Chain A
Amino acid sequence: MSTGHGADRRPGPSAPPGRRALRRFVRRRPAVVALVVLVLLAAACAAAPWLAPYPPNRQDLLLGPVPPNRSHWLGTDELGRDQLSRILHAGRISLSIGLAVGALSTAVGTAVGAVAGYAGRRVDQALMRVTDLFLVLPGIAILAIALERLGRSPAVIVLVLAGLFWMYVARVVRAEVLSLREREFVEAARAVGASGTRIVVRHLLPNVVGVVVVNAALAVAAAIIAESTLSFLGFGVQPPATSWGVMLADAEGYVATPQAYLLYGPGVAILLTVLSVNFVGDGLREVFDPRTAPR
């Protein structure tokens, strides 16, 4: 294999699984494009302090609201603040919230799911009832009440959103673990005296990485949308900090006015991000579960 060159150098079935997975991912063109878009977006937001043409909160009251033009690509708002600069800065908060919620809810969900799947019937039943309960409670309402009472710092938003998202991962991981635990390699590990913790951590979890990663991507996307929805209802991050959701919520007042252009920038930013995350998630799903790949 290693002696081939050019187009002939395709890793065969014997290539390391990581490289095979990478190859499968690269073959999904939409996923690759989406990943590039995502990385560019994230980089632009991360570099906002250097990249943004104006400070995000600098007001220019004499200028007021102007539609997109050469010096303000996306126009300015009522206070003369440059929209492009604000979007870049807001992206830092939106993306951080999305990533943090994805990570936290995935960690909690994986832990609950793995324990429920492995620890036997009683624990499983108890944990799954709790999971079902969380699924039944009116989500946005609970969120809003919590934020109203706990304050609206990004940390609280992350905690509350993660508290609402972990169930989905938990269910999927549990189902996977339930079927994996009956397999021979687990039995073998048990036979040589591996402890329960060791079996879960070293043998089961590596086998559910696929579904976990895919679900984490979906959670990030859902969190970014949920954050914007909360902002719209008035429970977003507080000024001077701003997120895409808050900007979009502020734009509500400009519907049917000459400043309707303010509606588009932050919305497109969210749309592009969530769309890309979804495509990457789909690509990953096909990498980890080749059965679902379209022929």
Chain B
Amino acid sequence: MLTFVARRALAAVPVLLVASFLSFWFVRVTVDPTAKVRQSRDPQAVARLRERLRLDEPVVVQYGVWVRDALRGDLGTSERTGEPVSRMLRRALWTTTQLLLWGTAAAALVAVAVGVYSALRAGGVADHLLTTLAFLGLAMPPFWFGLLAIQILAVDLTRWLGLSEPLFGFVGLHSGDGSGFTLDYLRHLVLPVMTLTVGIVAEWSRFQRASMVEVLAAPYIRTARAKGVPRSRLVVRHALRNALLPLVTVMALDVGLLFGGVIVTEQIFSIPGMGRLFVESLRVGDAPVLVAWTVVTAAFVIAANLVADLAYGFLDPRVRPR
């Protein structure tokens, strides 16, 4: 088992190197890192920066320099804020991780519940209703869902109920300067998490339903039923455990894709995470941040894929080589 993990992890290293190199190269050719310095009065400043970033040498060398500095924890300084990029990234990554964690947990719970329920009532009214909802969720631009959620759940609902302040927050993750895990925090989480996960909840629940329907039709379930296994135990222990397998893989793969959704969600709800950092840096062409951002994100996606690979090996002994 350990060699299996080690081999997969090693295989991810070249992918990470090439992907991060491509990201680096892409940002280098599209965003001019000397743009800001160019405006300064010091005529030597541009030359010095070019020297430091090795801009006159091949891009591979520049990448090498960047990786060497990055391994020492130095990702450069933001041109927009003058802050070290590593500190900005760490702060943003922590905020985004919260969103991703809550999002994945909530989405998994809802999707599994909906999928199992639909599968048990396959063909019934509830199943049809949930299927329709899933199709709607998949066909919606996520940011539109977010805007509608604010309009309907925060603004309209507050008016209808005659409340003095909205039930759910939609700016940031805390009101004012608050921090920590509070009721206020949860109230600010609801709408962003919904916006982030509407698509994957729809997709995962369809997936869970399909795999549950398949498992429920398997002969071993009939055998268990014939033996008199109680229904709840049959569904949870016998059917669900096997039906969860395929979903786990899809989930781990999609967590990487969620990063795209994060950009939109953080933009709508003014959450200072990775997504907002990206959009703000792109607006002003903040090259050091953009380079680090794309590389870190690519690494994150690769890590998620690796987890998917490993999870599959853990859960399904057939994939695991001895």
Taking Cβ atoms with an 8 Å cutoff, the residues of A that contact B are 132-133, 136-142, 144-146, 148-149, 221, 225, 228-229, 232-234, 245, 248-249, 251-252, 255-256, 260, 263, 267, 270-271, 274-275, 278-279
CB nearest neighbor in B for A139: B260
Nearest residue, chain B, Cβ from A232: B143
For the A-B complex, the count of residue pairs with Cβ-Cβ distances under 8 Å equals: 117
Contact B138 A278 (CB under 8 A): yes
| Given A145-B26, A275-B135, also A133-B19 (CB < 8 A) | yes
User: Which residues 117-144 of B have a CB within 8 angstroms of A?
Assistant: 135-136, 138-144
| Complex alpha-carbon distance, A221 and B30, angstroms | 29
Q: Which residues of A contact B293 (CB under 8 A)?
A: 141
Q: Beyond the given A255-B150, A263-B148, A275-B135, please list 8 additional residue pairs across the A-B interface where CB-CB is below 8 A.
A: A133-B18, A136-B298, A136-B302, A138-B23, A144-B278, A232-B264, A260-B151, A274-B140
A256 and B150: CB pair below 8 A? Answer: yes
- When distances are taken between beta carbons in the complex, the residues of chain A under 8 Å from B260 are 138-140
Q: By the criterion CB–CB under 8 Å, are A275 and B139 in contact? A: yes
Q: Let me know if B15 and A133 touch, CB within 8 A.
A: yes
A10 nearest CB across to chain B (Å): 26
Select from chain A the residue with minimum beta-carbon distance to B262: A140
**B212 contacts partner chain A, Cβ-Cβ < 8 Å:** no
Query: Which residues, 278 to 316 on B, are CB-close (under 8 Å) to A?
Result: 278-279, 282, 285, 290, 293-294, 297-298, 301-302, 305
CA distance A145 to B264 in the complex (A): 15
Interfacial chain B residues near A251, Cβ < 8 Å: 147
Q: Say whether, besides A133-B22, A136-B301, A233-B264, A278 and B139 are in contact (CB < 8 Å).
A: yes
The answer to whether B282 and A229 touch across the interface, beta carbons within 8 angstroms, is no
Q: What residues of A have a CB within 8 angstroms of the CB of B301 in the complex?
A: 136-138
B248 lies within 8 A of chain A by Cβ: no
A229: B residues at CB distance < 8 A: 141-143, 264
Bound together, the chains give a CA A270 to CA B145 distance in angstroms of: 12
Tell me the B residues contacting A by CB distance below 8 Å. Answer: 15, 18-19, 22-23, 26-27, 30-31, 135-136, 138-144, 147-148, 150-151, 154-155, 256, 259-260, 263-264, 267-268, 278-279, 282, 285, 290, 293-294, 297-298, 301-302, 305
4 A-B pairs with least C-beta separation: A274-B139, A275-B139, A138-B297, A228-B141
Closest to A132 in B: B15
Chain B residues within 8 Å of A133, by CB:
15, 18-19, 22
Cα distance, A144 to B264, chains bound together (Å): 12
Q: Which residue of B lies closest to A279 (CB)?
A: B135
Q: Interface centre among B141, B148, B155, B297, by most A CB within 10 Å?
A: B141
Nearest to A248 among chain B residues (CB) is B144
Q: How far is the CB of B273 from the nearest CB of chain A, in Å?
A: 14
Distance, CA A251 to CA B151, complexed state (A): 11
**Which residues of chain A are near B263, meaning CB under 8 Å?**
140-141, 233
Q: Please state if A228 and B144 are interface contacts (CB–CB under 8 Å).
A: yes
C-alpha spacing A116/B290, complex, angstroms: 33
A267 adjacent to B151 (CB under 8 Å):
no
Q: Are A256 and B155 in contact (CB under 8 A)?
A: yes
Given contacts A145-B282, A146-B30, is CB(A256)–CB(B15) below 8 Å? no
Kindly list chain B residues whose C-beta atoms are within 8 Å of the C-beta of A260.
151, 155
Tell me the complex Cα distance, A245–B143, Å. 10
A-B contact pairs, 18 of them (CB 8 A): A132-B15, A136-B305, A137-B23, A138-B297, A141-B263, A142-B26, A144-B282, A146-B30, A228-B141, A232-B143, A252-B147, A255-B151, A255-B155, A260-B151, A263-B147, A267-B140, A274-B138, A278-B139
Q: Is the CB of B150 within 8 A of A270?
A: no
CB distance from A212 to the nearest CB of B (A): 21
Chain B residues with CB under 8 A of A228: 141, 143-144
Chain A contacts for B259, CB-based, 8 A: 138
A255 touches which one: B31, B147, B278 (CB < 8 A)? B147
* B279: contacting residue among A137, A221, A233, A267, CB under 8 A: A233
Q: Is the CB of B135 within 8 A of A145?
A: no
Contact with B27, one of A145, A232, A248 (Cβ below 8 angstroms): A145
* Residues of chain A lying within 8 A (CB to CB) of residue B305: 136
Nearest residue (CB) in A for B16 is: A136
Do residues A267 and B148 form an inter-chain contact, with CB atoms below 8 A? yes
A227 to chain B, nearest CB (A): 9
Q: B23, B26, B147, B290 — which one has the most chain A CB atoms within 10 A of its CB?
A: B147
**B residues less than 8 Å from A271 (CB atoms):** 136, 139-140, 144
Cβ contact within 8 Å between B15 and A263: no
Contacts A137-B19, A137-B23, A229-B264; is A270 near B141 (CB within 8 Å)? yes
**What chain B residues lie within 8 Å of A141 (beta carbons)?**
263, 278, 293-294, 297
CA distance A146 to B29 in the complex (A): 10
Given the known inter-chain contacts A145-B31, A255-B147, A263-B148, please indicate yes or no for A137 contacting B139, CB distance below 8 A: no
